[in-house]
Amino acid sequence: MLDVLIGMAALIGLGAFWRWWQPGGLDGDRTRGFLTAIVYYYLLPALVLQVLWGGDLGLDSVRIAIVSAACVLLGMTLGWLAGRLLRAPAAVVGAMVLAAGYPNATYMGLPVLDAILGPEGRSIAIQFDYFAATPLLLTVGAILAQHFGQTASSEAAWRRLLRVPPLIAAVVAVGLNLVGMPMPSWLDHVLGLLAAGVVPLMLLALGMSLSLSAVTAQTTLRATPVIVIQLALMPVFALVLADTLGLTGAERIGTVLEAAMPAMVFGIIFCDRYGLDAKFYSMTVTVSTVLSLATLPLWLTLLQG
């Protein structure tokens, strides 16, 4: 695990260094936008299609989705309660709800599970995210962001879902898997080439999203309960629920680790779009990501022990 985290930290660090260095006049946010667009529209759908088409889908997939959905809904509720107790402004409360509710299941969870559990880990990360977390983000999360934010949108939830290429790839892959259609070898090769770039580009983009300038005494106070929810309470809840549902082995480890991930990077886009406190959210992502490099090995040790 230590070697895995050192490698991940190195790539995240290179991304953070790019944000400071700005080679070629490309700042971190602009470059991150390019990288995430490539991953989001090309590379990640290829990985999702390859993994889920040939993966072993069954009752454990349902259990993983249940744990994911339960963690997201509980996390959002706790984030809202924390915001109310701290009497934070509505824009901050909305950011706290998103940060506490949605773990970085793909951009950090997928690389971690891939390194620890291999191909099976990739499948668990994708199922955790696209079978439950992302659909909830684009429906319940969007509704709450509009409620607490300064802008509104009349766009139907199903339209938002249709614009998520990895989610569409997941639906197609599950359908092909269930009907038993074999994947052509040439397509498997093409998808493999595209999928190989997902992990390093994700980690570089994650590093480019980190910003220490947003860290202040006030934002740290408000972010503390959110970070505790994401890095401590959610994995405990996921562990209890996973054991209750009968998840074992790699599925149990991977599902709990997904729940233990830091705040989701993608939430920054929601904050910008709906008028939530993007600076606070960015700080929460930064601090929770750094701290997760210490908490994730502890959770892995506990789960393996």
Q: What is the DSSP string of 45-87?
A: HHHHHHHHHHS--SHHHHHHHHHHHHHHHHHHHHHHHHHHHTT
Average pLDDT on 127-150 reads 91
Q: What is the structure's pLDDT at 138?
A: 87
Cα–Cα distance for residue pair 111/199, rounded to 1 Å? 5
Q: What is the structure's pLDDT at 154?
A: 63
Average pLDDT on 143-171 reads 81
Per residue in 70-83, pLDDT (tens digit) is 999 999 999 999 99
Least confident of 50-54, 71-75, 208-212, 282-286: 208-212
| Structural domain spans, the chain | 28-206+216-304
Whether residue 288 has pLDDT greater than 70: yes
Per residue in 266-275, pLDDT (tens digit) is 888 788 888 8
Q: Whose CA is closest to 267, among 51, 107, 41, 49? A: 107
Q: What is the structure's pLDDT at 253?
A: 97
At 250 the three-state DSSP class reads helix
- Percent of the chain whose pLDDT exceeds 70: 95
Banded model confidence at residue 192, pLDDT cuts 50, 70, 90: very high
Calculate the CA 40 to chain-centre distance: 13
Average pLDDT on 234-243 reads 98
Token couple for 56: 């072993």
Average pLDDT on 157-185 reads 88
- Upper half-sphere CA count for residue 119 (Cβ side, 13 Å): 10
Q: What is the structure's pLDDT at 187?
A: 96
Whether residue 155 has pLDDT greater than 70: no
Q: Which residue, chain included where needed, has tokens 């499948």?
A: 123
The overall average pLDDT reported for the chain is 90
Per residue in 76-120, pLDDT (tens digit) is 999 999 999 999 999 999 999 999 999 999 889 998 999 899 999
Average pLDDT on 216-230 reads 85
Whether residue 68 has pLDDT greater than 70: yes
Cα–Cα distance for residue pair 165/40, rounded to 1 Å? 7
Which of 28-32, 229-233, 261-265 holds the top average pLDDT?
229-233
Q: What is the structure's pLDDT at 295?
A: 96
- State which fold the 28-206+216-304 domain adopts: Na+/H+ antiporter like fold (1.20.1530)
Buried b (16+ CB within 10 A) or exposed e, 53-68: bbbebeebbebbbbbb
Q: What is the structure's pLDDT at 56?
A: 84
